[in-house]
Amino acid sequence: MKLVLFDCDGTLVDSADIIHASMVATFREAGLPLPTPAATKGIIGLTLDIAIAALLQRPLDDECRHLAARYKEHFNASHRRPEFEEPLFDGIAQLLGALAARDDVLIGMVTGKSRRGVRRILEAHGFERYFVTVRTADDCPSKPHPAMVLECCAEMGVDPASTLVVGDAIYDMQMARSAGARAVGVSWGYHHREGLFATGADAVIDTPAELLALID
């Protein structure tokens, strides 16, 4: 049995625009210099308070935690607007459907999103039945700590050596390597191919369909 653990933002769904807009609103409200889109993309994948600390280039402190709470309020307000969208990347729905149909593969998610955010994504796209194990920012330390991967492996009874971690960020690659899992980067997300290989990617794929060959 093989376990495939997907990152969410930048791997399954394209949420950069809404994340950046919420981050800008949070920083503007606090009177802080606004992050650039590139800077925001660079921290997607980290747990929210740690991501904000990274944007501010300082250690995690109470203000970062307060900003994280305000970010959630801005993000949730955006979610209530009719134009809110976290679209799937091309080919993701087909990939998940193909994997779910196999008897030798289990599907999970390891993400810096909250449990609430994951539930919203799964319900919006009808994926609840696909993901048999999920670890979020509410459950484990932030990436690149290996806890998310190790806990999913333990829950499913699958050795990390038989597990693939699929993500777009350097933090995903580092997390996979620390856990003893295979690291598969995706080129359609928010981090560059060179950085993915430099942080431990065993492979970087350009389309979701390429993952099927890697699993086999």
Give the pLDDT band of residue 15 (cuts 50, 70, 90). very high
The CATH superfamily assigned to 2-14+87-215 is: HAD superfamily/HAD-like (3.40.50.1000)
Residue 78 has a pLDDT of 82
Identify which has the larger pLDDT, 196 or 77.
Answer: 196
Q: Of 2.30.230, 1.10.286, 1.10.150, 1.20.1270, which CATH number belongs to 16-79?
A: 1.10.150
Give pTM, 2 decimals.
0.93
Helix axis angle for 16-29 and 48-56, nearest 10°, is: 60
Give the pLDDT band of residue 177 (cuts 50, 70, 90). very high
**Bridge partners of 131?**
107
Helix (H) or strand (E) holding 185: strand 182-186
pLDDT digits (tens, 9 = 90+) for 16-32: 999 999 999 999 999 99
What average pLDDT does the structure give for the chain? 95
Candidates 81, 136, 86; CA nearest to 111 is 136
Beta strands in 96-181 (DSSP E): 105-110, 131-135, 163-167
Question: Which residues lie below 8 Å from residue 176, measured CB to CB, with a gap of 6+?
Answer: 149, 164, 165, 167, 182, 183, 200
